[in-house]
A and B are shown apart, each in its own frame.
Chain A
Amino acid sequence: MSKPKVAFFEFTSCEGCQLTVVDSLQTNVELLDAIEIVQFREAMSEKGQDYQIAFIEGSCTRPSDEAVIKRIREQADIVVALGSCADLGGINAIRNYQDLDDVRHYVYGDKADWYETYPARPISAVVPVDAAIPGCPIDRNEFIAAVKEVLQGRMPQIPDYPLCIECKLKGNVCVYLRGKTCLGPITRAGCDAICPTYGDSCEGCRGMVSSPNLEYMRIVLEEHGLDFEEARAKMTMFLNYQMMELEQEAANDNAKA
């Protein structure tokens, strides 16, 4: 049986997830025997168009990229969103709650019209995505595990319980007890609580668990001294696209009622 052909693509992103892929392959070189990488622009010149598995990093932030993403979807049997930007809209979506005209003029002045853009969106807002490896950046071990799952015909299982569980198992002192605020209670586990372990707080880069208690999260943040605006800022570094979707759903429900 021939080896499955794999391609990597990137849209609006820092390419840090693909760099993490390079880093994870250096300690798992045997994976290169199991797959054939036919396209990886950051690392190789070849541009094979025949592939079965496509990894996409980055958000879609302009209409002209939609056609490219659709062509990838047509070619690939399996499309995997790689990292926060592709999975959630990620950091790119911070600007979605700002006035887009203002954002464009702030950076490009009177030449703003030269550069095409629209609100940032995850790949799943453009085409159906079969699996996602979350995080900013992705976790090396989770990436390797996910590739092995896909090669065996299974979809990678990403934890759907809050980060707090992992953080407790790790033996960390709760970030709230250290006088900071943290999004661990609503964020998907799977990163081994790396940010709290290194003294920072969770910013939610892996996305929310499937039924987050947002109302109580806000109350906790307010109890720890964040006003409404500050709490919203805290919750929108990586989660803005998801937050705006939830707010829209709530608004629609209210309108119906």
Chain B
Amino acid sequence: MTMQKLKVDVHHVTRVEGHGNIVVDVENGELKQCELQIVETPRFFEAMLRGRHYMDSSHITSRICGICAVGHATTSLRATEKALGVTPSEQTVLLRKLNFHGEILDSHILHVYMLVAPDFLGVGSVIPLAQSAPDVVLRALRMKKLSGDICATLSGRHTHPIAMTVGGFTHYPTNDQLYQLRERLDAVRADVEATVALIQTLRVPDFERDTEYIALHKEDEYCFIDGEIASTDGGTWPVERYREVTNETMVPHSSAKHTANQRQSYMVGALARFNVNHDKLHPKAQAAATALGLKAKCTNSYMNSVAQVVEIAHCIEESIEILDTLLERGVEPEEPAPATRLSGEGVGSCEVPRGILFHNYVIEEGVVVGANCVIPTGQNLANIEADMRSLVPSILDQPQEDITKALEMLVRAYDPCISCSAHMLDVEFV
């Protein structure tokens, strides 16, 4: 029998970063309320940047998020560099890309193995898996450690990177360290294959809802740093015009702002990147996508975790290629590229693990006077709620426990990073 009355109130969704509640209220079989409430405290980073020296911006904004610290730092540096006319060297671009891949890998491995897999294996966390499936946990730890070590080799640590600065780096890895990373990445290819094999066995819930997918795009690569904004509904925008795409609005139930472009909502993140840029993936990642049944354009939000696995395969292969290039050229310590002016405005944009991120700074005489950051999870909130509104009526015949789990898994599939976005999980059936 279909449930006529349902109140779901999941207070503080677990296994996500930050605080949110899922609230669903059904009366007489009709959906009255369906919200992802963001109850994280406001963070106020944009306001705190004002009055600080431009060299401090990346160190302050990396503290927006412990998981995407390298992503925030890189985006911040690109915003400052564009504002002040700084052109980083080819070596800097390569080192930044490798560092960035380290973070994408770290975040995706954490999400797929430690936050999502327990749902499919029917446990509350990764800890019991250490008993029941030790090889899986050891593999996850091995892969995650390597990812973190990439960041540590290049910038001192993953949370929060030290050696990244405006125009370049303040510390350089030795060729020997890079060679060791190259060896370990080669060895971890077997773990990537085992990851694909594991995810192949998990049954992803059936759910389809077409939406607009937005990601950075470049002609010549599956891009993570710079590029132009592209949509599956058509259209491209230079990153400087991000406000025309994000159209931020505020809603009372969320300290993170909502966004919308050509529809009521849009999706960002691994699945959006895949839908926009799948033909640019490394052949091994394309093979992984085929093996996992991921095909563009995919409109099942639960498949975001699968798209993350495909990106793991991509980032491992591309990291090896970058290391080969670096080892061939040899890494030479160099002074960071200088600022050519001390005042200006710039927009930096990167595809951080959870999707497209924008930092926009106005700098006057070396001091930040205005700042705006638009965070991926904030951009996904309206889309998550649209998914929930579409999903709930179709599963009302299931026990409340199953409905709650389906909603939690949906929210988790987006890999929300709420502390980032509160400028932003718990499920609440009220």
Contacts and interface: CB of A to CB of B under 8 A. Distances in A.
Contacts of B16: 42
A247 interface: no
A45 B66 contact: no
Nearest to B68: A14
Interface string B42-63: 1110111011110010011001
Given A44-B14, A198-B170, A98 B48 contact: yes
Nearest to A17: B66
Interface stretch (B119-127, B289-297, B316-324, B379-387): B119-127
B41 A12 contact: yes
A225 interface: no
A114 B125 CA distance: 34
Contacts of A17: 66
Contacts of B17: 15, 42
Contacts of A195: 156, 162
Nearest to A94: B48
B64 interface: yes
A32 B130 contact: yes
A45 B252 contact: no
A200 B165 contact: yes
Interface in B105-122: 110, 114-115, 118
A18 interface: yes
Given A14-B63, A14-B64, A32-B127, A198 B47 contact: no
B255 interface: yes
A100 to B, nearest CB: 9
| Range of interface residues on A (Cβ < 8 Å) | 35 or more
A161 interface: no
Interface in A67-117: 90-92, 94-95, 98, 102-104, 106-109, 111, 114-115, 117
Given A15-B419, A44-B124, A117-B42, A194 B157 contact: yes
Interface in B141-187: 141, 144-145, 148, 155-160, 162-163, 165, 169-171
B15 A108 contact: no
Contacts of B47: 95, 98, 102-104, 106-107
B65 interface: yes
Contacts of B144: 23, 26
B18 interface: yes
Contacts of B50: 98, 106
Contacts of B272: none
A168 interface: no
B12 interface: yes
B250 interface: yes
Contact of B44 (A41, A95, A137, A230): A95
Contact of A137 (B160, B170, B419, B420): B160
B65 A91 contact: no
Interface in A52-78: 61-62, 65
B423 interface: yes
B8 interface: no
B159 A200 contact: no
A14 B66 contact: yes
B430 to A, nearest CB: 19
Interface in A12-33: 12-20, 22-23, 26-27, 29, 32
B313 interface: no
Contacts of A15: 17-18, 65-67, 419
Interface centre among B42, B141, B169, B171 (most CB of A within 10 A): B42
A43 B115 contact: yes
A47 B14 contact: yes
A29 B419 CA distance: 27
B14 A45 contact: yes
A91 B63 contact: yes
A159 interface: no
B357 interface: no
A12 B65 CA distance: 11
A104 B47 CA distance: 8
A41 B156 CA distance: 27
Contacts of B163: 198-200
Nearest to B253: A114
Interface in B202-225: none
A199 B60 contact: no
B56 A237 contact: yes
A170 to B, nearest CB: 13
Contacts of B165: 200
Nearest to A109: B250
A101 to B, nearest CB: 11
Contact of B46 (A13, A65, A91, A106): A106
A98 B252 CA distance: 25
Interface of B: 12, 14-18, 41-44, 46-48, 50-53, 56, 59-60, 63-67, 69, 110, 114-115, 118, 124-127, 130, 141, 144-145, 148, 155-160, 162-163, 165, 169-171, 250, 252, 255, 419-420, 423
Given A42-B17, A45-B125, A114-B250, 7 more contacts: A16-B63, A16-B65, A19-B67, A19-B159, A43-B126, A115-B255, A137-B66
16 contacts: A14-B69, A15-B65, A16-B63, A37-B127, A42-B17, A44-B124, A45-B125, A103-B47, A104-B42, A106-B46, A108-B250, A111-B250, A137-B157, A194-B157, A198-B170, A199-B163
